[in-house]
């Protein structure tokens, strides 16, 4: 090989090396933008924060007469009392009432019941949503029992109240009025607490 050919071969080899180097440099310079416009990494969006809240369904069921407020007859048999009732369900800005017709009036409807018998009515459900664990819902029962044209002084528009305890699930609870078993009524109701998550 002549010296001219050797020189040409060296020049070609150097040009080849220079081309490879330029190609590597070009790819390196473009490497940061290989993802293209608008394809850059974006920071992860924060997960939404969730809060636990509680719902309450409260269903009134019936009133049980525990004592008629009247003495037994001459044969020792229990006698019927003449009862009237009213209840109030209240809390978180809501108030619901229900009562016998013309409650606490001698001209109102009475229910003749003796011990162990119930005053029945159609169930009613009252609902609260998005409560916290400390929410206060109260159930109040009123009762009157008539002896002729006067009320028995042990059940003379007597009242008693209970706050519904927080407890997940469904529980049957009562509100009782009357200090002794001889003259006493109690309201039965179901309280069902459930929980759910809401986004802040």
Does residue 20 share a domain with residue 64? no
CB 119 within 8 A of CB 65: yes
Q: Is residue 24 part of a domain?
A: yes
In a shared domain, residues 54 and 8:
no
Domain identity same for 82 and 161: yes
Based on the fold, state whether residues 94 and 152 are members of the same structural domain.
yes
Task: Give the side-chain half-sphere CA count within 13 A for 198.
Answer: 10
- Whether the pLDDT of residue 180 is over 80: the answer is yes
- Greater confidence, 191 or 39? 191
Domain of residue 76 covers: 50-199
- Same domain membership, residue 98 and residue 19: no
In a domain, 38, yes or no: no
- Per-residue pLDDT reduced to its tens digit, 9-65: 665 566 566 565 555 556 555 555 445 555 556 667 788 899 999 999 999 999 999
pLDDT tens for each residue of 94-138: 999 999 999 999 999 999 999 999 999 999 999 999 999 999 999
Q: Do 57 and 142 share a domain, yes or no? A: yes
Q: Kindly state the average pLDDT of the residues 157-179.
A: 97
Stated pTM of the model: 0.76
pLDDT number for residue 70: 93
35 part of a folded domain? no
Residues 161 and 74 in one domain: yes
Would you give the DSSP letter of residue 9?
H
- How many structural domains compose the chain? 2
The sign of the CA dihedral 37, 41, 43, 44 is positive
Same domain, residue pair 57 and 146: yes
Residues 129, 95: one domain?
A: yes
């Amino acid at each position: 090989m002549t010296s001219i050919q050797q020189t040409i071969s060296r020049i070609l080899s150097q040009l080849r090396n220079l081309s490879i180097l330029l190609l590597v440099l070009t790819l390196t310079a473009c490497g940061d933008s290989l993802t293209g416009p608008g394809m850059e990494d974006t920071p992860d969006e924060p997960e939404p924060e969730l809060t636990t809240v509680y719902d309450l369904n409260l269903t009134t069921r019936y009133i049980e007469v525990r004592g008629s407020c009247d003495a037994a007859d001459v044969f020792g048999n229990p006698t019927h009392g003449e009862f009237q009732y009213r209840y109030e369900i209240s809390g978180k800005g809501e108030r619901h009432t229900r009562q016998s017709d013309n409650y606490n009036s001698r001209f109102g409807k009475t229910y003749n019941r003796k011990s162990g018998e119930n005053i029945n009515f159609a169930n009613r459900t009252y609902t609260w949503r998005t409560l916290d664990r400390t929410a206060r819902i109260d159930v109040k029962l009123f009762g009157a029992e008539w002896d002729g044209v006067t009320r028995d002084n042990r059940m003379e528009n007597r009242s008693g109240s209970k706050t519904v305890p927080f407890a997940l699930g469904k529980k049957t609870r009562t509100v009782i009025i009357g200090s002794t078993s001889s003259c006493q009524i109690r309201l039965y109701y179901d309280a069902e607490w459930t929980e759910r998550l809401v986004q802040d």
